[in-house]
Amino acid sequence: MKEKVLLFSLLFCMTGSAALAADERHGGEEPSKIEKVMSRLTVGGYGEAAYSYNMYSDKYTRYITPGQYKDESHGRFDLPHVVIFLGYDFGKGWTMGSEIEFEHGGTESAVEIEEEEAGEYESEVERGGEVALEQFWLQKSFMPQLNVRVGHIIVPVGATNMHHLPTEFFGVYRPEGENTIMPCTWHETGISVWGRAGDWRYEALLIPGLDSERFGRQGWIHDGAGSPYEFKIGNSVAGAFRVDNFSVPGLRLSLSGYVGNSFNNTLSSNKDASRYAGVKGTVVIGAFDFNYTSHNLIVRGNFDYGHLSDAEVITNVNINHMSQASPSPHQAVGEAAIAGGIEAGYNIFAHIPKVAGLGQKFYVFGRYDYYDSMHKADTNIYEYCGRSRVAAGINYYPIKEVVVKGEYSIGLLKSPYNNEPSISVGIAYSGFFM
């Protein structure tokens, strides 16, 4: 992979040098054409580097026998997301956008310890391919109120999926509730119609349904959007929407949702048609979020509720009737999941004219989350899936595009499970280079 990247870079440089040489030979006529092309090109991205010292055990059995793991801790370095964005304006309303994501600095394959199989080590593939293509779309803009986008696109359900840049949330990591129960960042191949009129923005999407075989107890439908294959199963088509309102200066209010069947959207073809007649595994999600920015204050919040029909049947199939060779988790899944959170930060540099004049900001923030991936289930043995999380910390912006973060957080679990405190620091950037 490294050799391919180096070869591509070398060819790019050689091509650019040849083009510049040709420009010089043609008396400066070509540079204007290059400038025209470059003016239509957009290059940007974002990236995060983080360290966490977690004052709790990371053993896979910590929820099975919590009393054995009261005084353990561990540290982790991570590159949660590094993304390169490339866009181009072809003219006459046609544009292209693409994002390539390197998640956790790897290739989306890893060795994990499987709780369901006595702690055995297994090779896991989260998505086919070596890197994640988070976006690749072509768009035709007819007017500000009507744009049609086709390709691999973001599903803007919930606050984080729509606003997932590291400069759009205070924590070192993305808000834990939405990042646990829903795909995040959620991206699918489909079609989107969107536009903005006055103080309103809307978006409606048709995308592939989720795969119920990849649902799990702690992540609910989180992994259902992924595919370990070289294609995405499309037996079911789902719909999603988002509506934003900006009527009040400094305030955005948003509603979003999703509905689609998941039970037959799997690779397996050995399900007994008569036995499972009428089983659809319909996923319905409703979400509300807001953002208020004014008077040196930023307040953000979200509430998400999701329901899965036929959850008991899906649980039985996934645990007892799925091939053991399947890369899916073979776990129970809840009938309902819930996530809610609110954060507020105040820029104290606004009261120090010398640094405020330089464009620097320093936010002191607090955040509270509650989420439960097994909010409604046919058993209560997974009570560790529901928890509160309290966090407090700082965000320092030396310039608009760069932020240095630090926070203390604690996950508050029901007895007899151990609370999960941690200290995290990170640095991130987000912006366009040209």
Q: How far is it, in rounded angstroms, from Cα 83 to Cα 132?
A: 9
φ, ψ of residue 186 in degrees (nearest 5) = -85, 120
CA distance 158 to 369: 14
pLDDT of amino acid 110: 59
Q: What's the confidence (pLDDT) of residue 427? A: 98
Is a pLDDT exceeding 70 seen at residue 112? no
pLDDT at 226: 83
Residue 155 has pLDDT above 90, yes or no: yes
Interval 25-47: pLDDT, tens: 444 455 677 887 788 999 999 99
Contact 367, 411 (CB under 8 A): no
Helices vs strands, H then E, count in the chain = 6, 19
Cα gap 323→320, rounded to integer Å: 9
- pLDDT of 205-221, one tens digit each? 999 999 999 999 999 99
CATH superfamily of 40-432: Porin (2.40.160.10)
pLDDT of amino acid 240: 98
Q: How sure is the predictor about 333, in pLDDT bands with cuts at 50, 70 and 90? A: very high
pLDDT at site 12: 39
Instruction: For residue 400, give both structure tokens.
Output: 């608009």
Cis peptide preceding 208, ω within 30 of 0: no
Identify the helix (H) or strand (E) that includes residue 316: helix 311-320
> For 270-301, what is each residue's pLDDT tens digit?
566 678 888 999 999 999 999 999 999 999 99
* pLDDT one-digit tens code per residue, 293-319: 999 999 999 999 999 999 999 999 988
* Number of Cβ atoms within 10 Å of the Cβ of 65: 10
Query: For the CA atoms of the chain, what is the radius of gyration?
Result: 23
pLDDT of residue 270: 52
Beta bridge partners of 339: 304, 371
Give tens-digit pLDDT for 239-254: 999 999 999 999 999 9
379 and 368 in contact (C-beta within 8 Å)? no
The least confident of 200-204, 227-231, 284-288, 312-316 is 227-231
User: Domain limits of the chain?
Assistant: 1-39, 40-432
Q: Do 261 and 280 touch, CB atoms closer than 8 A?
A: yes
Helix (H, G, I), strand (E, B) or coil at 128: coil
Closest-CA residue to 21 (of 6, 12, 35, 31)? 31
| Cα dihedral across residues 168, 174, 177, 183: positive or negative | positive
Euclidean distance between CA atoms 114 and 122, whole angstroms = 7
Structure tokens, 35: 């400038």
pLDDT score for 26 = 46
Determine contact, residues 279/263, Cβ cutoff 8 Å.
Answer: yes
* Distance in angstroms (rounded) separating the CA atoms of residues 434 and 421: 41
Element (H, E) at 317: helix 311-320
Q: Determine the pLDDT at residue 5.
A: 42
Going from the C-alpha of 74 to that of each of 51, 58, 62, 267, 427, the distances in angstroms are 11, 7, 13, 38, 20
Phi-psi region of 170 (alpha: psi -120 to 50; beta: other; left: phi over 0): alpha
The stretch 87-96 carries a mean pLDDT of: 96
Residue 56 confidence (pLDDT): 95
Q: Are 75 and 93 in contact (CB under 8 A)?
A: no
For 387-434, how does the pLDDT look when each residue is reduced to its tens digit (9 = 90+)?
A: 999 999 999 999 999 999 999 999 999 999 999 999 999 999 999 998
Strands 187-197 and 237-245: unpaired
User: Cα–Cα distance between 180 and 372 in angstroms, integer?
Assistant: 9
